[in-house]
Amino acid sequence: MKDTSQISGFYRLTTEERAATVSRLVALSRTEQDALESGGLELDRANRMIENVIGVYDLPLGVATNFLVNGVDYLIPMVIEEPSVVAGASYAAKLARAGGGFVTQSTPSEMIAQIQVLDLVDPWSARFALLNETGRLLEFADAVDPVVVGVGGGARDLEVHVISDSRVGPMLEVRLVYDCRDAMGANVLNTIAESLAPEIERISGGRVNLRIVSNLAERRLARARCVIPSEALTVDAFPGEAVVERILEAHAFALATPYRAATHNKGIMNGVDAVVVATGNDWRAIEAGAHAYAARQGRYSSLSQWEKNQHGHLVGTLEMPVAVGTVGGATRVHPTAKLALKILGVQSARELAEVIAAVGLAQNLAALRALATEGIQRGHMQLHARQVAIAAGAEGDEVDLLVQRMVKEKLVRADRANALLAELRESVAR
């Protein structure tokens, strides 16, 4: 934890200066600083992580500033290929700071494993029999991973749902609820579900098919809230009160149509995923959980809520499943993920999930504010132009020259970048 995450002019520093500032603030060792510079993941280690490895794939690691969460300052490591995200998060965190920062909360790290039981003659009786043995099944589940139980986790509940299906006949969906503490928990729950299967077959008289964790982690929620004083939202031609109203209109749009809700939530996930990836967590699991949760009422909708309080200030809340770990998976295997956890300074998976929710809410605010006022492209243009210039093959000073020209011409396109680069190189050659 840092004294402050407000580092004035951080974006104006060179990459080396930024790395040195962060290293100093979170006391990185020489080896950690080297890992930061090199990307950290060696081929040999990569080869042990997945199959058929032929190389490693780098992505930029940025740090978002200004985050005050529950009165504590956090520097936010973000790994992402998309421009504007890190700047957007830092800007929105600054706005939230003006209203006291983010306040967060979370439920325990409870994941659900599903066990599918088929070939049942009397499914309701099978359900009755299983529920009768709940205590013993939970004890059985607790015996599988003594490490998790040793740190206060373990089996919490057993639910049994009868599903009638015309294709395969009646099924039971057995849901085991298990607190996996600081682990993301998929491996833990998969192992337990597989271990429980023979017992479940014996008690129910049926046949078990699937035994796996559910990514709809509806019992593992993180929530964040922030208040933005309306005056902090003033931009150029838009007084703060008007910006509040326009953001509320934008939110109503996301509630009204899934076409907008999908993009609204994508903006939230820009921030969420960047931290999830930086910390070596499973972003597919987070994405699956977030969107399934957004559709849990039968209609896909916004994960965040925006409203106006009695003082006319903008208030945002976000609630979503955030199944992340600070142990297990790649969190301690990928050297840069370990570093990212150190930069964050979080002590538990729940603290990490709450910070991630705050980043998601910040990212949502940044996008809404831009969309509801000047439009997203103005801030985006410069950064987008840089990517287009690099993609066209521009190097060194050529990049800035191309960016300046394209932004001035308001023509940020690959064909224009190619033409400008050819022109530039020709004039240099002459």
Pairing status of strand 110-118 against strand 207-213: antiparallel
Does residue 147 interact with ligand NAD by CB under 6 A?
Answer: yes
Active site residue 266: yes
Does residue 154 interact with ligand NAD by CB under 6 A?
Answer: no
Map residues 254-293 to x or -, x wherever contact with ligand NAD holds by CB under 6 A.
Answer: ----------------------------x--x--------
CB of 324 to ligand NAD, least distance (A): 9
Q: Which of 32, 145, 182, 282 is catalytic?
A: 282
Distance CA 101, CA 107 (A): 21
Contacts to ligand NAD from residues 328-357, by CB under 6 A:
328-330
Q: What separation, in Å, do the N-terminal and C-terminal C-alpha atoms of the chain show?
A: 55
Active site residue 282: yes
Active site residue 380: yes
CB of 79 to ligand NAD, least distance (A): 16
Q: Which of 157, 159, 194, 266 is catalytic?
A: 266
3-class DSSP assignment, residue 86: helix
Residue in the shown chain whose Cβ atom is closest to ligand NAD? 328
Structure tokens at 205: 């008289």
Q: Which residues sit opposite 193 in a β-bridge?
A: none
Closest CA to 425 of 394, 386, 403: 394
DSSP string, 234-258: -BTTB-HHHHHHHHHHHHHHHHH-H
3-class DSSP assignment, residue 331: coil
Active site residue 82: yes
Helices (H), 225-348: 240-256, 258-278, 283-294, 335-344
Q: How many CA atoms lie within 13 A of 99 on its CB side?
A: 23
Q: How many CA atoms lie within 13 A of 3 on its CB side?
A: 5
Structure tokens at 375: 């439009």
Distance CA 118, CA 207 (A): 5
Near ligand NAD by CB under 6 A, which window of 10-18, 97-105, 183-191, 400-408? 183-191
| Nearest to ligand NAD of 40, 321 (CB atom) | 321
Of 145, 179, 319, 351, which lies in the binding site for ligand NAD, with binding defined by CB under 6 A? 145
Near ligand NAD by CB under 6 A, which window of 187-195, 240-248, 300-308, 420-428? 187-195
CB of 37 to ligand NAD, least distance (A): 26
Of 28, 86, 183, 193, which lies in the binding site for ligand NAD, with binding defined by CB under 6 A? 183
Binding site for ligand NAD (CB under 6 A): 145, 147-148, 151, 153, 180-188, 190, 213, 215, 282, 285, 325, 327-330
Active site residues: 82, 266, 282, 380
